[in-house]
A and B are shown apart, each in its own frame.
Chain A
């Protein structure tokens, strides 16, 4: 009994290790098979998409164009969705190529991740608020919160 229990245990341990390894492999494949240039291009493209969708919201917040609730909510959702996508482009760096990312990202990876998570949370909150029909002053405030997460990350981790 004891022996079987032990066997069972090691079998379990082995299989879970295998699952974990497979999981790790899948996670790795998320950015696996990509060259340094690919990764750089990928993350820049992600931020480009974020930037382009962020801009019209910014114009509304600054009063340069009229507040359009539908467009605002749509773009807020896009930014929130795409905010989940950038991190893969940073795994396993620093990468050689045409990049403005600072090596500090990989030296302080935990902090960088946290910055990304903060950004995701704030962006998600903006999207929810916009869809939930929050008041415009409230939305503007939340938009500034999101923009501050962009800025603080750029200040620390992006070449000036």
Chain B
């Protein structure tokens, strides 16, 4: 691990970063493939599976992963969130990982795409393609989940826009550079080095998630 600044600290482990950019790529691909018509349906399905696997992994990493990845480290009560917001403009403090409002943003940015992707597993276009778990629900439930899958996309898009705008606002109004640390892992002006979880734990969790998801798909198609 090279050090990229005078007092740069390694805050985002490889798994958080891979998850983040992987999720962005998988969601972009899911969006693109959904717009391309029937011939791209398989790409759409696989990009959706990737979203689910990534999110499930991130949930586990939020419980067992590196210090800055853990929900317990970055989820705080409403008072701290409000206090943080009140001094947002002039607040000099740099959070080690997610700040109090950013932590809750993470929850929303994980939860909404998860509902979006999971509902797709039950969806049907009533033409040619159905999600792998579609046979498990009644056709009225499938209809409702299909509507959810289609309509929730607008919310996902809005969240992405807010997310990117917030990153821009941090840069503009506070001079915080948030993108670079999410690429390199290193953040300047942080007071201490957070604990980084071992790689084999991440790989084991990822393998477990893939195995469970594959078993689910196999059970559905059996």
Q: Kindly list chain B residues whose C-beta atoms are within 8 Å of the C-beta of A144.
A: 38-39
Q: Is the CB of A151 within 8 A of B125?
A: yes
Q: Is the CB of B37 within 8 A of A160?
A: no
Per-residue B-contact encoding for A119-147, CB less than 8 Å = 1, 0 else: 00000000000000000000000001001
Q: Kindly list chain A residues whose C-beta atoms are within 8 Å of the C-beta of B147.
A: 159-160
- CB-CB contacts below 8 Å: B95-144 with A: 125-128
Q: Is the CB of B146 within 8 A of A51?
A: no
Q: Is the CB of A151 within 8 A of B127?
A: yes
Decide yes or no: A62 and B127 within 8 Å by CB, A148-B37, A160-B150, A160-B151 being known contacts: no
Q: Is the CB of B151 within 8 A of A147?
A: no
A154 within 8 Å of B by Cβ?
yes
Decide yes or no: A147 and B146 within 8 Å by CB, A154-B125, A160-B151 being known contacts: no
Q: Could you tell me the distance in whole angstroms from the C-beta of B39 to the nearest C-beta in chain A?
A: 6
Decide yes or no: A154 and B127 within 8 Å by CB, A160-B146, A160-B150, A160-B151 being known contacts: yes
Distance of A148 Cα from B127 Cα, bound (Å): 9
B contact residues, range: 10 to 19
Decide yes or no: A58 and B151 within 8 Å by CB, A144-B38, A148-B38, A152-B37 being known contacts: no
Query: DSSP majority for the A interface?
Result: helix
Q: Kindly list chain B residues whose C-beta atoms are within 8 Å of the C-beta of A54.
A: 127-128
Query: DSSP majority for the B interface?
Result: helix
Q: Kindly list chain B residues whose C-beta atoms are within 8 Å of the C-beta of A147.
A: 38, 127-128
Distance of A154 Cα from B125 Cα, bound (Å): 9
Distance of A152 Cα from B127 Cα, bound (Å): 11
Q: Could you tell me the distance in whole angstroms from the C-beta of A67 to the nearest C-beta in chain B?
A: 16
Q: Could you tell me the distance in whole angstroms from the C-beta of A124 to the nearest C-beta in chain B?
A: 18
Q: Could you tell me the distance in whole angstroms from the C-beta of B24 to the nearest C-beta in chain A?
A: 25
A86 within 8 Å of B by Cβ?
no
Q: Could you tell me the distance in whole angstroms from the C-beta of A63 to the nearest C-beta in chain B?
A: 12
Q: Kindly list chain A residues whose C-beta atoms are within 8 Å of the C-beta of B146.
A: 160
Q: Is the CB of B126 within 8 A of A58?
A: no
A46 within 8 Å of B by Cβ?
no
Q: Kindly list chain B residues whose C-beta atoms are within 8 Å of the C-beta of A58.
A: 127-128
Q: Could you tell me the distance in whole angstroms from the C-beta of B148 to the nearest C-beta in chain A?
A: 9
Distance of A160 Cα from B150 Cα, bound (Å): 6
Residue of B nearest to A51 (CB): B126
Per-residue A-contact encoding for B150-191, CB less than 8 Å = 1, 0 else: 110000000000000000000000000000000000000000
Q: Is the CB of A151 within 8 A of B37?
A: yes
Q: Could you tell me the distance in whole angstroms from the C-beta of B55 to the nearest C-beta in chain A?
A: 23
Distance of A51 Cα from B124 Cα, bound (Å): 12
Q: Kindly list chain B residues whose C-beta atoms are within 8 Å of the C-beta of A154.
A: 125-127
The 9 closest A-B pairs by CB, nearest first: A160-B150, A58-B128, A147-B38, A150-B127, A148-B37, A147-B128, A148-B38, A160-B147, A144-B38
16 A–B pairs (Cβ distance < 8 Å), ordered by A? A51-B126, A54-B128, A58-B127, A62-B128, A144-B38, A144-B39, A147-B38, A147-B128, A148-B39, A151-B38, A151-B127, A152-B37, A159-B147, A160-B146, A160-B147, A160-B150
> Which B residues are within 8 Å of any A CB, using their own CB?
37-39, 125-128, 146-147, 150-151
- Known contacts A62-B128, A148-B39, A154-B125; 9 further A-B pairs (Cβ under 8 A): A54-B127, A58-B127, A144-B38, A147-B38, A148-B38, A150-B127, A152-B37, A154-B126, A160-B147
> Which A residues are within 8 Å of any B CB, using their own CB?
51, 54, 58, 61-62, 144, 147-148, 150-152, 154, 159-160
